[in-house]
Amino acid sequence: MKNITLDVKGMTCGHCKGAVNGALTELEGVDNVEVSLETGKVDVSFDESKVDQAKLKEAVEEQGYDVV
């Protein structure tokens, strides 16, 4: 299991938090997601054999947020 932190811009409310959390959690290989609205940091732990950082980033961007 690998842990990374994504730096996400534009999350403003609980709905945003839920959208990002949901999009990441539903990816196969993602084990745990923690979203902080205050910092914009999204901690993700995932199985590197099933998903990679590029796919995580893509899932967040598809919800309308920038990953910096």
Binding site for its own copies (CB under 8 A): 10, 12-16, 18-19, 64
Q: Give the nearest distance from C-beta 25 to its own copies in angstroms.
A: 17
Cα torsion 9, 13, 17, 20: sign: negative
**Residue whose entry in the numeric block shows the structure tokens 């990953």:** 67
Strands (E), 1-68: 2-9, 30-35, 41-46, 66-67
CB of 23 to its own copies, least distance (A): 13
Residue closer to its own copies, measured from CB, 12 or 49: 12
To its own copies, the closest distance from the beta carbon of 1 in angstroms equals: 30
